[in-house]
Structure formats: structure tokens, C-alpha cells
Amino acid sequence: MLASYLNSLTEAINRRMGMVLIGLGVVVTVVFNLIIHVQFLPGPVIFLGRRLHWEATLGVPSVLSVMLEFTGGILWLLLSTLAAAPLLSSTLDRGWVELTLSKGTSRWKVFLGRYLGGVTLYFVAAIVVAVPIAIRLWWQTGVSSWPLVGSIAFQTLGFAGLLAFAALAALPRIGPAPPILLAMATSIVSAILAQREQGLYQLLTSRWSHWLCDWLYRILPKTSELNGIGVTLLHGYKINSWWPIWSTGVFMVATLGLTLWLLHRKSL
Amino acid sequence: MTNPAIEVKDLHKKYLTFSRMEIPALRGVSLRVERGTIFGLLGPNGAGKTTLIKILLGLCAPTDGSAQLLDSHPGDTGARRRIGYLPEAMRIPDYMKGPAFLRYMGRLNSIPGSTLKKRIPELLEQVGLKGVKKRTKAYSKGMLQRLGLAQALLNDPELLILDEPTDGLDPLGRKQVRDLLKELKATGKTIFLNSHMLSEVELVCDQVVILHQGLVARQAAPEEFTRGTGEYLVRVAQVNDAVRAAAATITGAAAWTDSTLSFIPRDHTQLNALIDKLRSVPVEIVAVEPVKHSLEHFFLKVVGAGEA
């Protein structure tokens, strides 16, 4: 599995989208580092641009929350999915699958290694975006933000759930489009379902549609809520509800388990 | 008696279409590949060769019947570590370089890093890719085939399954592969060879099976396929009525085509009598050749009979 995992990382770096993701991460972190500055008046005050400013203990989590909103946002999820999903579909490419899956490593290990490579790609890219500025602010203000790693881990869990669904969609071997579309559709639907009482239920009034939406919400990964939990954690508050975390974890494990079981039985 | 390298018994495989229609790919294939031999698998397109190989490698499951490789079932990862496989339509990701590709293949077979460090340069030299630094994207078809062959040999396999190993190679490359196969056989390896190059199969294989419409149509040693027919062609410098009359006294109503007489003698004495008779005409005898069928001839006959 390690061989497959390392190979997926090499492939991710060599694919254009992988480079775009990491490159964009670097650009974002550089730009943010340029527009954020710290002044001592006499205590440390963080300025975002010229006018928006906070006292350091509030400013550090606020700035990092902006970064988290970015890495948990739809654009970043789209880019990450575009970079990671082809790692799964390419595993089953004709002519390549015969080489890799005829070797002395089980199918599930090869595929799981690739999946973990995709998840790592997202995690590393999010770290590239958020961690340099966190280190700089800690250095300049003395306000540490260790919960950031936990916040990024929760976001990564959300992405892992999406990617597990993408893995399932990769099994029919019709290229990277179905996994990408399914993952993106799930993240959008999940965000809508999280706010269903304020939005969707105004449009859908029947009881069965509410019942359907409730169940869909329960089953699907909860990416937007995991972002919210990450921000909460960053501000030093307790996690109010563990439900989005464990339900996304269950979804990820169940979907991945189903995918690996189907792959094991699949005629290639 | 040692167990065979491959044993297949009454193997069936049906594919299901979207409309739930069953398409039989294998309809009861049985064969046995002895250790230390080169076994040739022949058959027209759609005969079930690739399906058979995929079942042997555990890439697809049979509908019925059984298959064993190196005393294990096809999906066994331990057994697969002792097998080298070169697929027909191999595709290597563009970004990889030869050594990196081999390293990955080796790691999937749990070959230790220290062994790979030593073995990869050796193999690259053996297949003629030593010093090639470019990415596989820039490889020619022949170079890719050589690299594929190198990955199949990486784990020093007991059993090699090669699907069209000379595809894309020039005549020199084909000869190198043939020599390599013979060398491997001499070291006790078993080779299962699927090739459309019938002349090659004829040259290297100990046993040949012809698969047709999902069934074993024939299995024999190549010599049996190409054994002499008993017919001789006697070619003379010039044919005229005197020559024809002289030949007829020995052969009866024999068939002449231009200056060549085709004739099935009872024995060598009758053949010698014909030669003496012709020389007494006199006429110059240019050649006396026994008629032998090639494997291709036999293959076409078997496949043609099946089609009919």
C-alpha cells in the first residue's frame, strides 16, 4: 500500500492540476502574507489591509478563519477534486491496471493507497495555504494557533468523504469525469441540505420531500458543517456537536469499504 | 512428477451485456503447462486468449471450472509475486521514467529496495535501455515493449506470462526476445506465450494450443503441427513430353506444375527410382524437397474449419 501511496503522490505532483493546486496554495499564502501586517500600539494589532484590524488574540483566529473559509470553499474543493479524483480513475486505466493489479499486492491495498494519496494532497495543499501565516502571526504576536491543524484535519475529513464517493464513481472505468462530478455535486448538495430549513423547505413543502432531504442530509458528508466546526475550534470554543464529524466518518468508511469490496469482485 | 506450472480444468467464462445477454468467452478450456517449458497460446481475435490470461492472473473470475498457477489459485498474491506478466496493450503513465516505473512495479511485488537497486540497471541493460533518461512519453513502441519485458523479469519469476512480447519490435529485437526466452527456459523458467507471430511460436515453443471460439481446438508440440506430409516436390530444369513420360512410369498420373512434379512416394526407394528415371532421360534435377506445412498453415486450417 505504501508503494501505491507514494506513487500517487508522485503522480499528483506530475499532473497539471496537482501543480495548480499546490501553486495556488503558495500564491494565496504569499498574497495574504503581503496584505496582513502587525503593528504594535503598543500591544500587537493585526491589520488586514489598511483599515480592518483586530487586537492580536482575536485577530489571529479571525485571519486564520478567512484562510479556512478559503480552503473549505467550493473553489478549493473543486480544484482539489480535479487534482485528486483522476488519481483514482487512472488506477483503473486499461493497460495500466493489468500491470499493477497482477502484481503481488492486493487490489484493495493499491486502490486505498491511491485514495490516501488524494486525501494527503488536499491536506498538504491546505497546510500550504494556512500554516505559513499562522507561524508568522505566532512569531510576531506570540498568539499560537495549534487548533488550526485540527481544523484542517476536520476539513480533510470532509474532503475524504467526498473522495470516497468519487472512488465509488471511478469503478465503472469511464474516466475522471463521473468521480469529479459526483464529488462536486455532493459537496454542493451537502451545503444546501445543511441549511435546508431556511432554504430548501421554503421551496419543497411535501412531507416526503422533507423526509428525503433529512435522510440525504444524514447520509452525505457534511463539508460545510465541518468547516464551521474548524472555525469554532480555531476561536477556542468547544465543539458543540460531534454529529457532522462521526457521520461523515461513517459515510467515508462505509463508502470506501463498499468501493473496495466491489473492486475486489470486479472483472477487469 | 512435479505439479504443472499452470493447470486449467473445464474453464468457462461468460460476459453479461447491459441487456443481460450472455456472451461466452471460454466454453470449457482445459490445459496443462509443465514446468520448465515454453507454452504457446494461439487463436484468432475473440478466441478467448486474453480472457484466459486474465483469469490466470486473477484479474477476472471464471464463471465455472478451476485454474491453478504454481500450486495456488489465481488471485493469490504470494503466487503472483512469483509470476512475471507482460500485457499486450500496456500503458505506462507519461510522466514516469523507466527506472521509476520499474521501481514501482518492484515495490508492488514486495521486492526489497536493495535488490531493486541492483536489479533495475541490470535489466535495463539486458533489454537495451541502459542510459535512457527520457520519460516514457517519449519512448517508441519498441522501447515501451522492452521496458514492459524488463518489469516482467524484475522479480526473477518462476512463471512468465507474455502477451505479444515481440509486438512493436524490429527483427533484431524479436531475435533478442527469442534468445532471451530460450535462455530463461534453460534456467528452468516456465513461459506462457501468447503471440500472433506464428513463426516465432514455432521456433521457441515446446507445446502449442490453438484456442478457437472459447475452446481448445488443438494442442500438440509444434513438430506435430509441422510434421512432413509425405509429399515431395521434384523440380527439373526443363520439362517436356519425354520427361513427363519417364516420370509417369514411376508415379503414374502425377501432377506437374510448370517444371515441378508433386508426388507422394511409397518409400524412399520409389523416390530414388524416380530420380534415376528422370536423370536417364536425361534432364537436370534442380531440387527435391519434402513438403512441410508451417504452423500458420495448420492454424489457418484449424481456424478455417471452425469458421466453416
Count of alpha carbons within 13 angstroms of residue B118, beta-carbon side: 6
Pairs of CB atoms within 8 A across A/B: 77
Count of alpha carbons within 13 angstroms of residue A249, beta-carbon side: 7
From chain A, pick out residues whose CB is under 8 angstroms from the CB of B58.
Answer: 102
Chain B contact present for A106, CB below 8 A:
yes
Burial class (CB in 10 A: 0-12, 13-18, 19+), B171: exposed
Of the partner residues A14, A96, A102, the one whose CB lies closest to the CB of residue B95: A14
User: In chain B, where does DSSP find H-type helix?
Assistant: 49-56, 77-80, 98-108, 113-126, 141-153, 171-186, 198-204, 222-226, 241-251, 268-279, 295-307
User: Given a cut of 70, is residue B79 above it in pLDDT?
Assistant: yes
Which of B87, B103, B205, B197 is closest to B155 using CA atoms? Answer: B103
pLDDT in tens, B240-288: 888 888 888 887 777 888 888 888 888 888 889 988 888 888 888 899 8
User: Given a cut of 90, is residue B301 above it in pLDDT?
Assistant: no
Q: Measured on CA atoms in the order B232, B235, B241, B243, is the torsion positive or negative? A: negative
pLDDT score at B306: 52
Chain B contact present for A93, CB below 8 A:
yes
Task: Measure A111 CA to nearest chain B CA, in Å.
Answer: 12
Give the burial string for B47-82 (b: 16+ CB within 10 Å, else e). bbbbbbbbbbbbbbebbebebbbbeeebbbbebbbb
Of the partner residues A4, A103, A267, the one whose CB lies closest to the CB of residue B109: A103
User: Given a cut of 50, is residue A183 above it in pLDDT?
Assistant: yes
What's the longest Cα–Cα distance across chain B?
79
User: Given a cut of 90, is residue B218 above it in pLDDT?
Assistant: no
Interface-testing mutation among B22, B88, B108, B154, with chain A (most A C-beta atoms within 10 A)? B108
| Weakest mean pLDDT among A60-64, A69-73, A116-120, B249-253 | B249-253
- A200: CB partners within 8 A, 6+ apart: A192, A193, A213
Identify the closest residue of chain A to B89 by CA–CA distance.
A95
Of the partner residues B91, B104, B151, the one whose CB lies closest to the CB of residue A94: B91
From chain B, pick out residues whose CB is under 8 angstroms from the CB of A95.
Answer: 87, 89-91
Single-letter amino acid code for the residue at B193: L
pLDDT score at A237: 78
Contact criterion met (CB below 8 Å) for B177 and B204: no
pLDDT score at B157: 93
pLDDT score at B305: 59
From chain B, pick out residues whose CB is under 8 angstroms from the CB of A101.
Answer: 59
Identify the closest residue of chain A to B76 by CA–CA distance.
A104
Task: Measure B81 CA to nearest chain A CA, in Å.
Answer: 5
Single-letter amino acid code for the residue at B113: G
Percent of chain B surpassing pLDDT 90 = 35
pLDDT in tens, B8-66: 999 999 988 878 888 888 999 999 999 999 999 988 888 889 899 999 999 999 999 99
Give the burial string for B270-293 (b: 16+ CB within 10 Å, else e). ebeebeebbeebebeeeebeeeeb
pLDDT score at B292: 76
User: Given a cut of 80, is residue A196 above it in pLDDT?
Assistant: yes
pLDDT category, A154, cuts 50, 70, 90?
very high
Which of B185, B162, B161 is closest to B36 using CA atoms? Answer: B185
Contact B59 A90 (CB under 8 A): no
Give A202 or A132, the one with higher predicted confidence: A132
Average pLDDT, chain A: 89
Of the partner residues B60, B81, B91, the one whose CB lies closest to the CB of residue A96: B91
Task: Measure A96 CA to nearest chain B CA, in Å.
Answer: 5
pLDDT score at A15: 83
User: Given a cut of 50, is residue A51 above it in pLDDT?
Assistant: yes
Task: Measure B216 CA to nearest chain A CA, in Å.
Answer: 23
User: Given a cut of 50, is residue B213 above it in pLDDT?
Assistant: yes
Contact A98 B85 (CB under 8 A): yes
Instruction: Give, as one character, the DSSP assignment of residue B72.
Output: B
How confident is the model over A245-256, as a mean pLDDT? 96
User: Given a cut of 90, is residue B308 above it in pLDDT?
Assistant: no
Contact A15 B151 (CB under 8 A): no
Q: For residue B292, report the phi and psi dihedrals to the nearest 5 degrees.
A: -120, 140
pLDDT category, B119, cuts 50, 70, 90?
very high
Burial class (CB in 10 A: 0-12, 13-18, 19+), A30: exposed
pLDDT category, A58, cuts 50, 70, 90?
confident
Q: CA B245 to CA B114: how far, in whole Å?
A: 78
pLDDT category, A181, cuts 50, 70, 90?
very high
pLDDT category, B183, cuts 50, 70, 90?
confident
